[in-house]
């Protein structure tokens, strides 16, 4: 009987037949020795697998396969996951009795959560751990996969003393019939893989940091230690990445923000609540002015909305039920003024019995109410009347029986803008209606997730909502895309990718909305992107709960990626709020909404700008554009005249009149990132000139003051951007969810 064969489809489109169960390693060897030597793993029908994983003929279709080598981004993830195992093995050698949790890859490396008996790991342990890892890499032992039935697997990890793995099997993995393990020497770990063929493939690695981490991310579980590291196929790549990390530390917006006096966070105000200092507020104001001018050109109308709203508004929109845990607790407000006055007076002890009777009557609250029954019981009267109660009992009585309204700190601007639309009858002639606001919203982020300006609890969005007819959708969506492109390019952030964020039909987040509506909206966005000839990739499950969107993933000068601008298409909220307009046919129709925010959050955008420019903002955006530097007091009067001329021309300028030498004054200005320094001495005063010094270009020589002012004016009007050279990165940072590799 002839052996069963499996067909393999290679990247060049060719299809070859091999014996059933052939390994990717053997396929690579059949192609060539060089490929076999470079092979790290393989992709079979879209799944990354080990080189030793048998390829079997489960269907009549050919298995699409490609071999991964160090040139492939997916190979780097395999390498890093394997290095996480190597690190865990080294830690267990050095500290017996270690219990392992999870060891996934991250965007730029890996970590492993561990529990060590009797001590805490610290960065002082890194050298010893790295030495042990180097021994493991040198030995180049293979990663060997084996599988066990789930009950046997549970007993196996229990015998190893790995209690966390036992709990993970009992809680999440027991539903699987078979669980896989990987063995490397004496080290065995419960893991789905895949892994590199042997530890010798690791070219370079580095442990980076250590932090606390709750088991499975739950604050009610035990605290573990999370050891972070990274790995590459080549030491040059590691060195480039470490240089990138160091440069990122130097550019940290929290550090620069403090040095330049841009913003602060006060513990008395609260975590995640930003105080914009004068220099930072100046930059923010310039960004707002820049955006508002563009919006007016493009037919937007400004609106303002309050910082709070009734909880009913957000329940109708769907924001409150879907994101309740990420919002501040509701504010309860008494609806009756007399009841509030009575309750406040009882708390303060300032209201006598006569006043209590008056206020109780005005509030319409009887002195005695039926007691709220327990389940299955009949109503009972309170045992006391109001005036037989203590003050504490009176307060409890009122709180239980008064009417309240609940308010939320505004989590989103869109429900408020919807109410502005709904405030007047609308005709098709009124559409598109474009409402714009720099609206501040509030989200209750967990303390551990807060980070300077980039993760806060109160932030301002450059928000706008467009209400249009179905026929206007594509043109309006295109115009918002063009606006976002213009804004990002104007601010030196023109290096971006575009993600079409679609819904995931299997995710409960997107349930309750007709699938045809989702498909229509997604098709309309794709049509706009195709018409604009914009390359994009699809992010399934990344849509907003009310509609698909386009996200701009911006890469800064360090190669890091940030999600900034967003444009969203929404057929859902107009339906929820029953919005209408009268069409040409004189019938009522439902408008379509477009949500858009080119900056996203001003706080986050500003933090990214600080790091992108390392605090050295372009001239038109700098909080202080020009500093006049007199060489001595003898030219103080002329230096004052220069400052006056600059201020009259509309520049943000100052005068350094300190009794310092000119080199010290230049140094101070450079440290404070001042774009232009105008040095004046006796010669300049005599000729009504200045010595022009540029922050990056250096000394440009003497020139007439009028010429210097014209030069500054031209650069401001043209919004000239400094050349920000990207740092060579070892690997592109990619948005990647951390996955438990069990």
Selecting among 80, 279, 402, 414, the annotated active-site residue is 414
Cα dist from 90 to 30, 137, 224, 518, whole Å:
36, 11, 17, 50
Angle of CA points 349, 351, 355, to nearest 5°: 165
**Known catalytic residue at 191:** no
Verify whether residue 322 is a known catalytic residue.
Answer: no
Closest CA to 627 of 585, 594, 666: 666
Nearby residues of 132 by Cβ (< 8 Å), 6 or more positions away: 90, 93, 94
Which one from 499, 595, 645, 665 is the annotated catalytic residue?
Answer: 595
| 396, two tokens | 């409890």
Tell me which of 443, 590, 657, 711 is the catalytic residue: 443
* Sign, CA torsion 277/280/283/288: negative
Task: Return d(Cα 93, Cα 24) in angstroms, integer.
Answer: 33
Residue 561 phi, psi dihedral angles, 5° rounding = -110, 135
List the catalytic residue out of 184, 327, 461, 472: 461
Rounded distance between C-alpha atoms, residue 402 and residue 338, angstroms: 11
Q: Do the beta carbons of residue 652 and residue 713 sit within 8 Å?
A: no
Give the C-alpha separation, 255 to 245, whole Å.
15
CA distance 546 to 446: 25
Cα(413)–Cα(465) distance, integer angstroms:
9
Q: Could you tell me the two tokens for 733?
A: 């940072």
Q: Nearest-CA neighbor of 121 among 228, 205, 199?
A: 228
Across 509-587, the runs of DSSP E, i.e. the strands, are 537-540, 549-555, 561-570, 581-582
Q: CB neighbours of 9 closer than 8 A, spacing ≥ 6?
A: 15, 62, 63, 64, 65
- The answer to whether 549 is a known catalytic residue is yes
- Let me know if 461 is a catalytic residue: yes
- Cα angle for residues 26, 29, 31 (degrees, 5° grid): 115
Residue among 89, 226, 410, 549 flagged as catalytic: 549
Catalytic site residue from 25, 93, 99, 465: 465
* In the block, residue with structure tokens 């267990």: 92
Q: What is the CA radius of gyration of the chain?
A: 33
Per the annotation, the verdict on 416 as an active-site residue is: no
* β-strand partners of 115: 99
* Token pair in block for residue 484: 């976002």
**E strand intervals along 119-199:** 144-149, 178-184, 187-190
Two tokens at 726?
A: 């990207």
The active-site residue out of 125, 189, 463, 556 is: 463
Give Cα 401 distance to the centre of its chain.
43
Q: Could you give the CA distance from residue 299 to residue 593 in angstroms, rounded to a whole number?
A: 16
Q: In a 3-state reduction of DSSP, which class is residue 246?
A: helix
Nearest to 270 by CA among 212, 320, 332, 328: 328
State which H helix or E strand residue 602 sits in. Answer: helix 602-613
- Please tell me the distance from the alpha carbon of residue 238 to that of residue 251, in angstroms, as a whole number: 20
Residues annotated as catalytic are: 414, 443, 461, 463, 465, 549, 595
């Amino acid at each position: 009987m002839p052996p069963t064969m499996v067909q393999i489809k290679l990247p060049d489109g060719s299809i070859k037949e091999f014996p059933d169960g052939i390994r990717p390693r053997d396929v690579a060897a059949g192609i060539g020795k060089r490929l076999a030597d470079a092979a790290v793993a393989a992709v079979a029908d879209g799944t990354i697998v080990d080189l030793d994983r048998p390829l079997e003929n489960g269907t009549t279709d050919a298995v699409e396969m490609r071999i991964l080598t160090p040139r492939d981004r997916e190979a780097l993830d395999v390498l890093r996951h394997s290095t996480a195992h190597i690190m865990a093995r080294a830690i267990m050698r050095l500290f017996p009795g270690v219990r392992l949790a999870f060891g996934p890859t991250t965007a730029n490396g890996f970590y492993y959560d561990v529990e060590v008996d009797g001590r805490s790991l610290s960065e002082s342990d890194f050298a010893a751990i790295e030495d042990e890892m180097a021994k493991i890499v040198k030995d180049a032992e293979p990663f060997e996969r084996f599988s066990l039935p789930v009950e046997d697997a549970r007993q196996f990890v229990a015998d190893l003393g790995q209690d966390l793995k036992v709990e993970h099997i009992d809680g999440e993995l027991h539903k699987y019939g078979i669980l896989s393990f990987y063995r490397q020497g004496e080290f065995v770990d419960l893991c789905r893989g895949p892994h590199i063929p042997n530890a010798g493939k690791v070219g370079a690695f580095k442990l980076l940091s250590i932090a606390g981490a709750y088991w499975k991310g739950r604050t009610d579980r035990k605290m573990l230690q999370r050891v972070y590291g990274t790995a590459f196929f080549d030491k040059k790549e590691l060195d480039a990445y470490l240089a990138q990390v160091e440069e990122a530390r130097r550019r940290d917006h929290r550090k620069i923000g403090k040095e330049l006096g841009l913003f602060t966070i006060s513990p008395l105000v609260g975590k995640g609540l930003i105080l914009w200092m004068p220099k930072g507020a100046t930059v923010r104001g310039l960004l707002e002015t820049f955006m508002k001018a563009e919006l007016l050109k493009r037919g937007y109308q400004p609106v303002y909305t309050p910082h709070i709203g009734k909880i009913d508004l957000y329940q109708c929109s769907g924001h409150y039920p879907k994101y309740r845990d990420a919002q501040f607790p509701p504010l309860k407000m008494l609806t009756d003024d007399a009841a509030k006055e009575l309750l406040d007076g009882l708390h303060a002890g300032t209201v006598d019995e006569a006043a209590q009777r008056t206020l109780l009557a005005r509030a319409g609250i009887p002195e005695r109410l039926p007691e709220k029954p327990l389940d299955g019981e009949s109503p009972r009267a309170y045992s006391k009347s109001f005036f037989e109660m203590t003050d504490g009992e009176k307060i409890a009585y009122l709180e239980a029986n008064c009417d309240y309204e609940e308010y939320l700190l505004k989590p989103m601007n869109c429900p408020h803008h919807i109410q502005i639309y709904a405030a007047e009858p609308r005709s098709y002639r009124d559409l598109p209606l474009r409402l714009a606001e720099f609206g501040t919203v509030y989200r209750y982020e967990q303390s551990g997730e807060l980070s300077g300006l980039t993760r806060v609890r109160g932030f301002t969005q450059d928000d706008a909502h467009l209400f249009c007819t179905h026929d206007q959708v594509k043109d309006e969506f295109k115009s918002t895309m063009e606006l976002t492109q213009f804004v990002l390019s104007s601010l030196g952030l023109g290096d971006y990718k575009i993600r079409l964020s679609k819904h995931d039909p299997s995710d409960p987040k997107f349930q309750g909305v007709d699938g045809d509506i989702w498909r229509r909206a997604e098709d309309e966005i794709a049509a706009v992107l195709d018409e604009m000839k914009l390359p994009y990739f699809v992010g399934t499950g990344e849509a907003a709960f009310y509609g698909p969107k386009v996200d701009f993933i911006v890469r800064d000068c360090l190669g890091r990626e940030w999600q900034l601008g967003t444009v969203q298409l929404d057929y859902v909220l107009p339906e929820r709020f029953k919005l209408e307009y009268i069409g040409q046919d004189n019938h009522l129709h439902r408008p379509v909404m477009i949500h858009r925010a080119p900056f996203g959050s001003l706080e986050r955008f500003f933090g990214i700008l600080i790091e992108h420019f390392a605090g050295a903002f372009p001239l038109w955006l700098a909080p202080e554009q020009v500093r006049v530097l007199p060489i001595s007091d003898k030219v103080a009067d002329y230096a004052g005249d220069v400052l006056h001329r600059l201020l009259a021309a509309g520049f943000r300028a100052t005068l350094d009149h300190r009794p310092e030498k000119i080199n010290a004054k230049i140094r101070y200005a450079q440290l404070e990132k001042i774009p232009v320094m105008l040095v004046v001495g006796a010669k300049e005063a005599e000729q009504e000139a200045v010595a022009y010094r540029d922050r990056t270009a250096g000394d440009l020589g003497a020139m007439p003051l009028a010429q210097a002012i014209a030069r500054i004016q031209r650069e401001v009007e043209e919004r000239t951007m400094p050349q920000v050279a990207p740092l060579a990165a070892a690997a592109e940072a990619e948005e990647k969810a951390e996955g438990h590799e069990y």
